[in-house]
Chains A and B, each alone.
Chain A
């Protein structure tokens, strides 16, 4: 371990020793010793160990060690295939320098862009970035107007007295998946440019389109330059070490066709369903993170999902402190209005049209508003955030919004499925925050990580390589039609398939995200769906036909598709 790691280990142990757990452990050990018996050290030790195990401490220590190791990035030592891990470490050095260069270029350009758009929004709506805090009397008056009992209810309700009347003036999102898509396509250009070209002459993103509607497709020229490094058909330049199908199958070996999974085998074999149920209950009772991950790879039974997802994310069961924290964030929303609140409301309007999620509109409103005020998130957000100096308050260099995450189109859809799993808004908030830090923040990052935890760039590269390997015919056909495969699959990947798959299948997919602690299954599924529909895709004559074919994924069963596409002949 180098100095850095050692320091972190020391800090971590200190943290552990300060918790109640250590005190409990000491007490348990003392009790055990006092029970008397032999003076044999071995015997005493084994009795103490047994006692601690019975009280669940063994699992707690395991979990703690596991989370710590994950923080160091070594969690896949046991699970990843040797090949993948080797590749990763070998190109670490060249990647890190590359990453630094791209990141700083990107950061700068991206920040400028967001500032411009945010400015434009402020002009259009007349709402300042941050309003001065409301006077207590005014806040109280608004509270009385609302019907909710808790702060969360008050800010969550439709037409809440705390919401801005200017919402109708918001006509477009700050940014969306499409912006990322274009940025990725242009990344290659940035990398190749030498340092002599000044940054401000690099135009990363196209000029703002007059209406940012999803129907506007990018121009049909696919922007890939045939003269580049031989990879003439790629929409996004290959920048990471992409695994082959065989390596992917090894990494996702639990999806092999011999294994039984929820979503397919439980429907056919009742005994498997019962067996899996009892196994899941045991895993849930034990509370070990590692075992939850292993279980989640085969699917989690519906009623146990709330508990198992929490364990898999390393979250303790929700305490009063969590409720209070959530409530206090909601109160800060009541006290001070921000421009970003309007963006969240705009996003909600998309959700409220959704057939599956409309009953949860109010819960999601309060969760997303509270999320935007939570400073704890800023540390794990990978997208460069916008900072303000003197944003009309006394704060200097405040991260804006406090969470560091500027709302974009689709953020709320990433939280929506959680309402089908958790009843209590605090649970939804806590789990969403954890999943954002762990997964969704990577969907907005251009960093060049490969397996086991790729970011958006890596996911796109993996998708294109994978589909090129399993079904080049479809890939080239789509390319010729002027609608490259990645263009179709991008919304699926960026949105984690929310709104495309039916809820049951979506939750089974997210089980696997947790099980492998990685987004890598998203591009694999996207490729599987496309090759499943290959006959229809190959019959399509124009780009418009394609829309009809890939429009409706609600009848897709994901597990058979994944198993068949990973089955290496």
Chain B
């Protein structure tokens, strides 16, 4: 009997576990679980060396110990910048690498930021707390005076400490607009391991729209409803409509882009978005502790500018599991369900207790389209294999082998040709 534990009493988690016939562990302190969908604080406690708690080989948990290297805004930027430098040094300077807007950490990089700010007059910048969520504490600036005001702002010692870690990025002021409104993309990515890197991307995702028409007017710079797409913010607006929740299915976006920009541009955009995800994971690959008990479901936030270039805004370790509409709930259920199908080993006992009212298509996602004993299937439900480092290594090896072989063949041919040249041209003269 599989025992699962969850820190989130959310339908999308509980239903996926229950339908597999798992039983829920209720005691908070219990360590007797097989699968744990934990929140980030619990995980932090768990992996602290002082606690001395070691995971059994079969236990699976949904976060990597130091996931914050990717999911904290400031650390993500630091890692990506280091990765970009490294690639440039190795001569791998590809345009794909430019996927985060120019960002500085405050207060450490304050002087660098001021220099850049002065150089690019008239640009808008966005200030974000390094480790808050749901759009809290975010604001736009276009004058240095506003930063100074914030830096010298009132506050007790503790508040100042909290205010200290901010990131300031160049604001993408030309986002792609649909219906004159700004939106961003939420994509779901599952990482099974970092070394070798194995990542999956879900076909299911959505665009989150602002309620109010986008404008770059100064007067509206402080209007969060125009600029910030977080659902937590837009929900509070007067124009919020809970029937659609401002979420637009990813397939509709693709259709729209194909029709209005052409197929090549649309395909190119989605490929670039995939490269953004892969590059961001590669950037932290060597920094993350690759614990075999761990996997992670990330919520990637990407903005599209009007040239159809994707920009990575941030990576969320705990993407929201609350559902705002019926469609949203179906989508999240499916993503969680596919994630579990992917990460749970095949030898775990399983009873398919599908609830009666579940639509038939949910059953289809259980189909794994490759040999189930194979460790890295190409597709599980909506999750498609995005990057498999072992495969890349294999391919690289195969390429090297082929190269070596063709070199060897060429050498031997030359040898035989040389040999032939000494003989008379024709033996029949």
Q: How far is the CB of A277 from chain B (nearest CB, A)?
A: 8
Q: Counting CB contacts under 8 A, is B348 at the interface?
A: no
A355 cross-chain contacts in B, Cβ below 8 A: 243-244, 247-249, 325, 327
| Cβ-defined contact, B255 with A503, below 8 A | yes
CB contacts under 8 Å to B, within A333-364, are 352-356, 358-363
| Cβ-defined contact, B258 with A303, below 8 A | yes
Q: Counting CB contacts under 8 A, is A302 at the interface?
A: yes
Partner of A504, one of B244, B255, B262, B327: B255
B99 cross-chain contacts in A, Cβ below 8 A: none
Q: How far is the CB of B251 from chain A (nearest CB, A)?
A: 7
| Cβ-defined contact, B361 with A555, below 8 A | yes
Q: How far is the CB of A274 from chain B (nearest CB, A)?
A: 11
Q: Counting CB contacts under 8 A, is B20 at the interface?
A: no
Chain A: CB-nearest residue to B265: A303
A356 to B179 Cα, complex, angstroms: 12
Q: Counting CB contacts under 8 A, is B365 at the interface?
A: no
Q: Counting CB contacts under 8 A, is A502 at the interface?
A: yes
Partner of A359, one of B181, B251, B259, B325: B181
B325 cross-chain contacts in A, Cβ below 8 A: 355
Q: Counting CB contacts under 8 A, is A402 at the interface?
A: no
Partner of A503, one of B241, B252, B266: B252
Q: Counting CB contacts under 8 A, is A178 at the interface?
A: no
Q: Counting CB contacts under 8 A, is A158 at the interface?
A: yes
Q: How far is the CB of B244 from chain A (nearest CB, A)?
A: 5
Q: Per-residue 0/1 for A293-320: is the Cβ within 8 Å of any B Cβ (1 yes, 0 no)?
A: 0000000011101100000000000000
Q: Counting CB contacts under 8 A, is A558 at the interface?
A: no
A200 to B361 Cα, complex, angstroms: 53
B241 cross-chain contacts in A, Cβ below 8 A: 352-353, 358
Query: When A301-B263, A302-B255, A504-B255 are in contact, do A362 and B180 touch as well, CB less than 8 Å?
Result: yes
B262 cross-chain contacts in A, Cβ below 8 A: 303
Q: How far is the CB of B258 from chain A (nearest CB, A)?
A: 4
B252 cross-chain contacts in A, Cβ below 8 A: 356, 420, 503
Q: Counting CB contacts under 8 A, is B88 at the interface?
A: no
B180 cross-chain contacts in A, Cβ below 8 A: 153, 362
Q: How far is the CB of B268 from chain A (nearest CB, A)?
A: 13
Query: When A355-B244, A355-B325, A359-B248 are in contact, do A420 and B259 touch as well, CB less than 8 Å?
Result: yes
Chain A: CB-nearest residue to B220: A147
Query: When A353-B241, A502-B251 are in contact, do A303 and B179 touch as well, CB less than 8 Å?
Result: no
Query: When A301-B263, A303-B263 are in contact, do A504 and B251 touch as well, CB less than 8 Å?
Result: yes
B side interface size, CB within 8 A? 30
Q: Per-residue 0/1 for B207-222: is the Cβ within 8 Å of any A Cβ (1 yes, 0 no)?
A: 0010001010000000
Query: When A358-B244, A361-B179, A552-B359 are in contact, do A303 and B251 touch as well, CB less than 8 Å?
Result: no
Chain B: CB-nearest residue to A153: B180
Q: Counting CB contacts under 8 A, is A43 at the interface?
A: no
| Cβ-defined contact, A305 with B259, below 8 A | yes
Chain A: CB-nearest residue to B243: A353
A464 cross-chain contacts in B, Cβ below 8 A: none
Q: How far is the CB of B234 from chain A (nearest CB, A)?
A: 13
A side interface size, CB within 8 A? 30
Q: Per-residue 0/1 for B177-197: is the Cβ within 8 Å of any A Cβ (1 yes, 0 no)?
A: 011110100000000000000
Q: How far is the CB of A146 from chain B (nearest CB, A)?
A: 11
| Cβ-defined contact, B213 with A157, below 8 A | yes
Q: How far is the CB of B270 from chain A (nearest CB, A)?
A: 14
Q: Per-residue 0/1 for B259-275: is the Cβ within 8 Å of any A Cβ (1 yes, 0 no)?
A: 11011001000000000
Chain B: CB-nearest residue to A360: B179
Q: Counting CB contacts under 8 A, is A423 at the interface?
A: yes
| Cβ-defined contact, A362 with B361, below 8 A | no
Q: Counting CB contacts under 8 A, is A550 at the interface?
A: no
Partner of A302, one of B183, B209, B246, B259: B259
Q: Counting CB contacts under 8 A, is B8 at the interface?
A: no
CB contacts under 8 Å to A, within B312-364, are 325, 327, 359, 361
Chain A: CB-nearest residue to B181: A359
B239 cross-chain contacts in A, Cβ below 8 A: 158
B266 cross-chain contacts in A, Cβ below 8 A: 303
Chain B: CB-nearest residue to A502: B251
Q: Counting CB contacts under 8 A, is B53 at the interface?
A: no
A552 to B326 Cα, complex, angstroms: 12
Query: When A356-B252, A358-B248 are in contact, do A303 and B259 touch as well, CB less than 8 Å?
Result: yes
Q: Counting CB contacts under 8 A, is B256 at the interface?
A: yes
Chain A: CB-nearest residue to B242: A353
Which of B179, B239, B263, B359 has its CB near the most chain A CB atoms (within 10 A)? B179
| Cβ-defined contact, B249 with A356, below 8 A | yes
Q: How far is the CB of B361 from chain A (nearest CB, A)?
A: 6
A502 cross-chain contacts in B, Cβ below 8 A: 251
A551 to B178 Cα, complex, angstroms: 29
| Cβ-defined contact, B244 with A363, below 8 A | no
| Cβ-defined contact, A359 with B178, below 8 A | yes
A421 to B252 Cα, complex, angstroms: 11
| Cβ-defined contact, B327 with A362, below 8 A | no
Query: When A503-B252, A504-B251 are in contact, do A363 and B179 touch as well, CB less than 8 Å?
Result: yes
Q: How far is the CB of A280 from chain B (nearest CB, A)?
A: 11
Q: How far is the CB of A168 from chain B (nearest CB, A)?
A: 15
| Cβ-defined contact, A503 with B244, below 8 A | no
Partner of A423, one of B209, B247, B260: B260
A157 to B215 Cα, complex, angstroms: 14
Which of A352, A358, A363 has its CB near the most chain B CB atoms (within 10 A)? A358
CB contacts under 8 Å to B, within A109-164, are 147, 153, 157-158
Q: How far is the CB of B209 from chain A (nearest CB, A)?
A: 6
B183 cross-chain contacts in A, Cβ below 8 A: 359
CB contacts under 8 Å to B, within A253-303, are 301-303
A421 to B258 Cα, complex, angstroms: 9
Q: Per-residue 0/1 for A499-532: is the Cβ within 8 Å of any B Cβ (1 yes, 0 no)?
A: 0001110010000000000000000000000000
CB contacts under 8 Å to B, within A421-455, are 421-423
A422 cross-chain contacts in B, Cβ below 8 A: 259-260
Which of A302, A363, A423 has its CB near the most chain B CB atoms (within 10 A)? A302
A334 to B241 Cα, complex, angstroms: 27
Which of B178, B209, B260 has its CB near the most chain A CB atoms (within 10 A)? B260
B260 cross-chain contacts in A, Cβ below 8 A: 306, 422-423
| Cβ-defined contact, B255 with A354, below 8 A | no
What 7 A-B pairs come out closest when comparing CB atoms? Answer: A353-B243, A359-B179, A302-B258, A423-B260, A303-B263, A358-B244, A303-B262
**Interface of B with A (CB < 8 Å)?**
178-181, 183, 209, 213, 215, 239, 241, 243-244, 246-249, 251-252, 255-256, 258-260, 262-263, 266, 325, 327, 359, 361
Q: A359-B183, A423-B260 are in contact. List 12 more A-B contacts (CB 8 A).
A: A157-B213, A302-B255, A303-B259, A303-B266, A353-B241, A356-B248, A358-B246, A359-B178, A420-B255, A422-B259, A503-B251, A555-B361
Q: List 25 A-B contacts (CB under 8 A).
A: A147-B215, A157-B213, A302-B255, A302-B259, A303-B258, A306-B259, A352-B241, A353-B241, A353-B244, A354-B243, A355-B325, A356-B252, A359-B178, A359-B248, A360-B179, A420-B252, A420-B259, A422-B259, A422-B260, A423-B259, A503-B251, A503-B252, A503-B255, A504-B251, A507-B255
**Interface of A with B (CB < 8 Å)?**
147, 153, 157-158, 301-303, 305-306, 352-356, 358-363, 420-423, 502-504, 507, 552, 555
